[in-house]
Structure formats: C-alpha cells, structure tokens
Structure 1
Amino acid sequence: MMKQHYVGVDQDQNGGLTHIGRMIFDAWVFGILPDSEKCAGWDAAQIQNLYEKVYSAWEPYAHLPSRLPDDLRQRHAHIYAQAVNNAKSKGWDAELKDDD
C-alpha cells in the first residue's frame, strides 16, 4: 500500500482553502508552525498530529475567530485575507454551485 503525502498548502487546490490548508493557516495563527512551513510531503500521521494541536489551541476560544484576543484575531484576519486573495487570483470562486 502506498502512503499518501500532502502536496503543501501552497500547492493545494483552491489556493489552500481546503480543510487541511485551513488547519495549516490556523497553525500559523497560533504559532504552532512558522509561516514558512507549507507541510509539503507530510504523511497522514503528521497531519493528524497537527490537527490535534490546532484543535487544542482553538478550544479556549470555542473555535470562533471572534473570541480570539486582538493580536490573534488580527493575525487570523490577515492570514485568511491573504489566502482568499491568493485563491481568487488562481480562479477560485466562493459562490456555491448546485453541486456544492
């Protein structure tokens, strides 16, 4: 059985606006990963480990950006604004279609 590896948030579909990509953005927000870490080549176990760390980091804030302290809320807004702009520049459309 072949092991699958993540392509990296910068190579992910929709400009990284996927469930794994958003988790990486959140890891950047909380300082779990440096912004330079794209997670390219990571296997499922590494992604799962990251998920658990990010989930724990969100718990005190009920997983809501609006409950983050000002510095983290501003960092979150900045990282996600960049991600959305990047995705749009690559042709991503936020509008839901009938099959979404």
Structure 2
Amino acid sequence: MATKPDRYIGINNDINGGMTTIGKIIRDAWVFGLIPETETCQNWNLAGIDTLLQKVNAEWDKYGCLVSRLPPELAARHQLIHDAAIAKARAAGWSGEHETDYED
C-alpha cells in the first residue's frame, strides 16, 4: 500500500498547475509578502504548510476574507499573481470545472 507523502512537492510540481488548496495558500502568502514569490514550498512538511495557512488566514481576516476589501496595492498584487497562475494552469490543461461542479 502506498504511503501518503510527508513533504509537499512544490507549487511548480503540483497537480492542475498548482490549482490546489496548498497552491492557493502559497499564492496568497506571496500576495501578503509572507514568503517571497520565489518560494515554492518544495520539501516543506505539512506542519510548515499549516503554519503558513495560519499566517495567510490572519492576513485575510484583516480584510474580512474579501478581495474587494484589500487595499489597492494588495488587490493589484492579488490579481497579478492569481491571473498568472490561472493562465499557467489553463495552458497545462486545467479547466477549473472541478471547482464549480457543485454549482449545477
């Protein structure tokens, strides 16, 4: 039986072009300047990812968890980072349909 990996493979190696829960945490951490955009979190353990998630959530809480409440510079940064990620993922074959299956 295969065992679950205990280290993250890195956003650049993640499935769906990094359009995963961990990928979103990393992109949001980039937006808030918690880690540099060059940090892919490759080989991070799950405790490290969880700590990063807590920091990201603390930042989002400041803005009511809404992009529309981000200050202009953070909103622009969010759009730039997430738009680039979506374009990259779509080029790799991701369509986003799985994320919206429940909306039918």
Answer yes or no: same fold by TM over 0.5. yes
Once the two structures are superposed, the pairs formed by residues 60-75 of structure 1 within 5 Å of their partners are 60-75=62-77
Check whether the contact 1:5–1:44 (CA below 8 A) recurs between aligned residues.
yes
What is the one-letter code of the residue matched to 1:87?
A
Instruction: Report the equivalent of 1:24.
Output: 26
- Measure, in 1, the Cα distance between the counterparts of 2:78 and 2:52: 17
Once the two structures are superposed, the pairs formed by residues 35-74 of structure 1 within 5 Å of their partners are 35-74=37-76
What number of residue pairs does the alignment pair up? 100
Check whether the contact 1:25–1:79 (CA below 8 A) recurs between aligned residues.
yes
What is the one-letter code of the residue matched to 1:20?
I
Structure 1 moving runs of 4+ over 6 Å: none
Q: Alignment RMSD, CA only?
A: 2.0
- Measure, in 1, the Cα distance between the counterparts of 2:72 and 2:21: 24
- Which consecutive unaligned segments of at least 5 residues does structure 1 have? none
- Measure, in 1, the Cα distance between the counterparts of 2:16 and 2:71: 28
Cα distance, 1:74–1:4 mapped onto 2, change above 3 Å: same
- Measure, in 1, the Cα distance between the counterparts of 2:42 and 2:7: 8
What is the one-letter code of the residue matched to 1:16?
G
- Measure, in 1, the Cα distance between the counterparts of 2:66 and 2:4: 37
Three-state SS of the structure 2 residue aligned to 1:10 is helix
Instruction: Report the equivalent of 2:85.
Output: 83
| Structure 1 position 94, deviation (Å) | 1.8
- Measure, in 2, the Cα distance between the counterparts of 1:6 and 1:96: 22
Q: Among the aligned pairs, what percent are the same residue?
A: 42
Instruction: Report the equivalent of 1:9.
Output: 11
What's the TM-score once normalised by structure 2's chain length?
A: 0.88
